[in-house]
Amino acid sequence: MVAVTQVSVSPRGKGSASAALKGWEADLLTVGELRVRLFGEWVLASGARSSTELSRRLSETPSPTKISFDSRELGAWDNVLINFLNKLEAVAAERAIAVDRSGLPGGVQRLVGLARAVPERQGARRTQQQPDLLTRVGQSSLGFFETTADFVAFLGEAIIGIGRMLVGRARLRRSDLMLAIEDCGPSALPIVALISFLIGLILAFVGAIQLQQFGAAIFVANLVGVAMVREMGAMMTAILMSGRTGAAFAANLGTMQVSDEVSALQTLGIPPMEFLVVPRIVALSLMMPLLTVFANIVGILGGLLIAWLMLDIAPITYYNQTSGAVGMNDWAVGLVKAVLFGAVVAIVGCWRGMRCQRSAAAVGTAATSAVVVCIVLIIVIDATATVICTTLKI
């Protein structure tokens, strides 16, 4: 006849101060029941409580067959307590130890029940493995080819769409086209003016210092004129427009994907390619050469100002020198590039937008990648064009 005797009260080597901090004490009763006494505050503000020590008690010999609780001294509680009990029960379940929740407050009983009610869905949890270097290189190379193929497909669809528009069979609204034209043309004038004026100014400054050494200051006009018209005008405008309009296209179409606006067009039988993408491509391809002409003129004016103020070259002399230096072929090269850049910026912007995933973060990614791809393509195309023109002596 053995009465209920308490085997151990406090965990090894720890005083009552740590017990108060811990918030529980466990007594193993001889009937194999582990009684856990909970006391004090169990709230977020006082920190989390680890259940590892108590879980370890479950594996000690003699192993308990049942856990019960005494919560008479329990103060305020919140998820901290639920978490503690939830983990304890998980360990207990593994060892087939019964848990008697009746000693807990009603709310705690129910919440623990709720947390354990819905079993984890099989296969829901993901095992993430970091692929090795070779796998990653392979994956990103394959990804690059896939992306390129997707871009070419998009380009093809866009060209078909433009073709349909030219024969008047595309489904698009005239007002949308006008709005797009306004957005990527006149609205961009101030910023294009500022940037190209400063570019002309910088070119003139750099040229002036070098050319003055040879007494050939007047050739600043040639330098600025040819550089602006052939290269810088088109390129700077394109880079500016990829940041301004390309990113806007991507963000705009991306958000339309997120909010199902694109799907709404599709279900109505309106091809988004014709309705959304074609007007933007047409607008920017039309406006880019005009913006470039404007940029060239403003840039030359910037050079003129420096030549006039720094080198004492009369504006009329500068003008004559410029018109002698810049020929029709220079203008042609610049403008052809401008049309090309306009199309590239619009197509890439729309492509990234239309391929946007359905979340806010994805819209940001789409806009970023639109700008990056645009600028890379612009520089690559410009370099290629320069090499070709030099070889062909255009």
Partner 1 sequence: MAYGDFVIQRDLNFTISKGDIFIIMGGSGCGKSTLLRHLVGLQVPARGRVLFSGESLWDAEQERRDAILRKTGVTYQAGGLWSSMTLAENVALPLEQYTDLSPAEIADLASLNLALVGLAGFEDYFPSQISGGMQKRAGLARAMALSPEVLLFDEPSAGLDPISSRLLDDLILELRDSLGATIVMVTHELASIFAVGDNSVFLDPETKTQIASGAPKQLLAECPDPKVQRFLRRGVVVAAGKTPANQGVLA
DSSP state of 60: S
Tell me how far apart the alpha carbons of residues 172 and 127 are, in angstroms, rounded to a whole number: 47
169 near partner 1, rule: CB under 8 A: no
Q: Which stretch binds partner 1 (CB under 8 A): 79-87, 171-179, 271-279, 382-390?
A: 79-87
Backbone angles phi, psi at 170, to 5 degrees: -80, 150
Shortest distance, CB of residue 358 to partner 1, whole angstroms?
5
Select 107 or 138, whichever has its Cβ closest to partner 1: 107
- Per-residue contact track with partner 1, 80 to 119, x per CB under 8 A? x-xx--xx------------------xxx-xx--xxxxxx
Nearest to 265 by CA among 347, 172, 181: 172
Query: What is the footprint of partner 1 within residues 345-364 (CB under 8 A)?
Result: 357-362
Amino acid at 185: G
Shortest distance, CB of residue 356 to partner 1, whole angstroms?
11
Select 30 or 50, whichever has its Cβ closest to partner 1: 50
C-alpha torsion angle, residues 75, 79, 82, 83 (rounded to 10): -130
CA 20 to chain centre: 49
Shortest distance, CB of residue 277 to partner 1, whole angstroms?
23
Tell me how far apart the alpha carbons of residues 224 and 342 are, in angstroms, rounded to a whole number: 23
125 near partner 1, rule: CB under 8 A: yes
Q: 337 burial class (0-12, 13-18, 19+ CB within 10 angstroms)?
A: buried
Tell me how far apart the alpha carbons of residues 38 and 66 are, in angstroms, rounded to a whole number: 16
Q: Which stretch binds partner 1 (CB under 8 A): 77-85, 155-163, 214-222, 376-384?
A: 77-85
Select 85 or 278, whichever has its Cβ closest to partner 1: 85
Shortest distance, CB of residue 2 to partner 1, whole angstroms?
39
From candidates 2, 17, 45, 134, binder to partner 1 by CB under 8 A? 45
368 near partner 1, rule: CB under 8 A: no
Select 114 or 153, whichever has its Cβ closest to partner 1: 114
Shortest distance, CB of residue 230 to partner 1, whole angstroms?
43
* Cβ atoms of 229 and 326 closer than 8 Å: yes
Shortest distance, CB of residue 75 to partner 1, whole angstroms?
14
Shortest distance, CB of residue 76 to partner 1, whole angstroms?
10
Select 108 or 385, whichever has its Cβ closest to partner 1: 108
* Cβ atoms of 245 and 346 closer than 8 Å: yes
CB count, 10 Å around CB of 345?
Answer: 35
Beta partners for residue 25, in sequence order: 37
CB count, 10 Å around CB of 285?
Answer: 21
Shortest distance, CB of residue 82 to partner 1, whole angstroms?
6
- Give 251-314 as a DSSP string: HHHHHHHHTTHHHHHHHTT--HIIIIIHHHHHHHHHHHHHHHHHHHHHHHHHHHHHHHHHH---
128 near partner 1, rule: CB under 8 A: yes
Shortest distance, CB of residue 78 to partner 1, whole angstroms?
4
From candidates 10, 22, 39, 43, binder to partner 1 by CB under 8 A? 43
8 near partner 1, rule: CB under 8 A: no
- Give 322-358 as a DSSP string: HHHHS-HHHHHHHHHHHHHHHHHHHHHHHHHHHT--S
**How many residues lie near partner 1 (CB under 8 A)?**
36
Q: Name the site residues for partner 1 (rule: CB under 8 A).
A: 43-45, 47-48, 50, 78-80, 82-83, 86-87, 106-108, 110-111, 114-121, 124-126, 128, 357-362
